[in-house]
Amino acid sequence: MAELLHVLDLVGVVVFAVSGGLEAARKELDPVGFLFLAAVTGIGGGTLRDLLLDRGPVFWVTQPQYLWLTSAAGLAVFFAASYVERRRAVLLWADAVGLAVFSVLGARTALDAGAGAGVAILMGTMTATFGGLIRDVVCGETPLILKKEIYATAAAAGAAVLVLLQAIGLPGPVAAGTGLAVAFAIRGTALVFGLSLPSYRLRREG
């Protein structure tokens, strides 16, 4: 299970990096912009997680293959942005997989570091969503997690399921697999049926 999660982690980084590259294409940035947005989107959430948990050097410092992956993804999109954009539906589903994986990995990492349940759920949610938040802020867009889309909610649900199942004594692989499935199912259902959370509407007096 650990090897599978590692592979999915790498896939999730690439998918998120590609989404950063696509945003760079929409903003008509130069290759440096593509590399930057691919990196912050792909590894931003994990970086924040490691810093907040004080785990020493962040993961990509000791495992530079993550930087190579985000760089390769960013440059690939620079040269093939129009082709990738036509496959956006596929990327949305791949992004859902990345979201699910990062929510579980973030929560597990926090638990392994001795964090409590609430912190672990928050870390899972942040790992899955913070890279996209940085991307959107840098590009002057409203972050996806602040919109009506069911995105951060799916990540939080997956992380919460992992934490709960591990707390009641289920094996780690079972807890991780179930949490991943829950996060993906919630995000996938939202994509298929166009579901979103209700938004606040100002009351107009008079």
pLDDT along the chain (206 residues), means of 10: 79 90 91 96 95 93 96 94 76 86 94 96 96 92 84 97 96 92 96 87 67
In this prediction, residue 71 carries a pLDDT of 97
Rg (CA), the chain: 17
Cβ burial, residue 143 (10 Å; 0-12/13-18/19+): middle
**Cβ contacts of 153 within 8 Å, gap of 6 or more:** 186, 197
Q: SS3 for 149?
A: strand
How far is residue 168's CA from residue 199's CA, in Å, rounded to a whole number?
35
State the CB neighbour count (10 A cutoff) for residue 198. Answer: 6
In this prediction, residue 144 carries a pLDDT of 80
End-to-end CA distance of the chain: 60
Contact 70, 77 (CB under 8 A): no
In this prediction, residue 205 carries a pLDDT of 62
Listed by start position, the domains of the chain span 2-193
Q: Give how far Cα 199 sits from Cα of 47, 55, 125, 136, 148, Å.
A: 30, 37, 20, 20, 6
